[in-house]
Structure 1
Amino acid sequence: MVMAGTLEGLRVVACAFEFQFLGGSMGSVVGERFKRAVDHCLSERRALVCFTASGGARMQEALYSLLQMAKTSAALARLKAAALPFVSVLTDPTTGGVSASLAMLGDLNLAEPHAQIGFAGPRVIKQTVHETLPEGFQRSEFLLDHGALDMIVDRRELRGRIASMLRLLLKQPPVAA
């Protein structure tokens, strides 16, 4: 889902993945909608906020789904070149190609408490690296402690926190209390 609007007076475009629909997977339509969201941000000088909840690439679309990783990453590079902020909010779960592309490319990467975030599942990783992995290594708290996230924010506090962070990124004064 993609919508344009305001957040505490700030002009934004917001994207949201819906995990209840095909596991929030990213296929060609999702990639195109995300690119168009970035295009709208560029033409209207708006910030972008994206809420991810995904199992990764949409396997039913084969290579077309994997191409969306490059497409969304390239779109975000154009947003960055235009000095427009991208806030990525990772919810539970954010995995696969979505975590390996757009979800971790924010100017600010936020996550909800205890969110599962990673590329592959723990069993696959363990079989690949042949090591015992730390407990909770794919949870938001572990990723914050190891520098992969900027902050963890409870869902009830996201609106105010995102707005205040966007004001900083946009070099706008804080709202008077």
Structure 2
Amino acid sequence: MLKNIFTKNKLITQTQEVKSKIIDNVPKGLFGKCSSCNNITYTKELKNNLFVCPTCGHHLPISAKDRIEFLIDAGTFIEYDKKLSSDNPLNFEGYKDKLKQDMKKTKMNDAVMTGEGTINELPVVVGVMDSNFRMGSMGSVVGEKITRAIEKAIEKKVPFILFSASGGARMQEGVLSLMQMAKTSAALDKMNKEGLLFISYLTHPTTGGVSASFASLGDINISEPKALIGFAGRRIIEQTIRQELPDDFQTAEFLLKNGQLDMIVPRKEMKDNLTTILKIHSL
């Protein structure tokens, strides 16, 4: 019995090693590997599955362009402020080079894409952050683009939906990045006074100054399963309060249980769920 168990485990390990060797020797981008269960899947199959692992259901990172493609009705998306890009206000060494690298990698000028379109024929303004660009950090351009998108939603009197995926404020821009917390929050306050709907969709990860500002200010706050959401890191909090935190602390499930989220919605149900909310709000 024990021998069979060890043999089985050995075969599983060997199979995973073979798969890893195969993926290392195939053209880049052909396969994707799940960061949760290590399952290897064709990238095309992953995309068809909205970048959700078909084996374990883990929600893999998704680019802003792909999320918009999945969410917004084909042919209706009009992008805002596409050419807006960051400067180097603090002359931070190497910052411009890093921006150029991420621009080349993501085909974006900064970490958020904003624009308007329809979701099942319902008009919306959307913002989608992309963690592939400086870990979705919020600098002056990110804050400015989100603020302008909110102002467009007010002008057009349509709901605003924002997908957050961020490590927080961008350190290379110092206090200028922190100022975006106040600017975006003030714009949302104006939107609230106009009686317009703001849906905040928190994805993995949503942390730091982003979680402490616009990401937590939705009329409806939604998250994807098992997303990391919080302000400071777990270790820092434990050292500060001198207490051990629960294992599921700062997960979407923990926040839902404690009233900081309204719902957790798997990516495959994202469009239908938002359509229902938008229809109810339009009544």
Larger Rg: 2
Q: How does 1:1-177 map to 2 (within 5 A)?
A: 1-170=113-282, 172=283
Which gives a bigger RCO, structure 1 or 2 (Cα 8 Å, sep 6+)? 1
- Secondary structure of 1:68 counterpart: helix
- 1:129 Cα deviation (Å)? 1.0
Q: Deviations over 1:76-127 (max 9, x none)?
A: 0011111110001000000000000000100100000000000011011111
Q: Distance in 2 between matches of 1:95 and 1:73?
A: 16
Q: Deviations over 1:1-25 (max 9, x none)?
A: 0010111121101101110100100
2: CA distance, partners of 1:168 / 1:81: 19
Q: Secondary structure of 1:160's match?
A: helix
What SS does the corresponding residue of 2:210 show, helix, strand or coil? helix
Give CA-to-partner distance per residue, 1:14-68, whole Å, 9 cap, x none: 1011101001001111111011001100111111000110000000000000000
- Which residue type is aligned with residue 197 of structure 2? P
Cα shift readout 1:119-159 (whole Å, capped 9, x = no counterpart): 01101111111111111110000100000000000001101
Q: CA RMSD in A?
A: 0.7
Amino acid at match of 2:163: F
Counterpart of 1:157 in 2: which secondary structure?
A: helix
Query: What is the distance in 2 between the residues matched to 1:164 and 1:78?
Result: 25
Deviation at 1:169, TM superposition (A): 2.5
Cα distance in 1 between the residues matched to 2:224 and 2:178: 26
Instruction: Please state whether the residue corresponding to 1:114 is helix, strand or coil.
Output: coil
TM-score by length of structure 2 reads 0.60
**By percentage of residues, which structure has more strand?**
1
Aligned with 1:13: secondary structure? Answer: strand
Matched residue count: 171
Provide runs of 4+ in structure 1 moved above 3 Å: none
Runs of at least 5 residues in structure 2 that lack an aligned partner in the other structure: 1-112
Distance in 1 separating the partners of 2:275 and 2:239: 42
Partner SS, residue 62 of structure 1? helix
Task: Provide the rounded CA distance (Å) in 2 between the counterparts of 1:11 and 1:91.
Answer: 22
State the TM-score, normalized to the length of structure 1. Answer: 0.95
Over the matched positions of the two proteins, sequence identity in percent amounts to: 51
Q: Which amino acid aligns with 2:207?
A: T
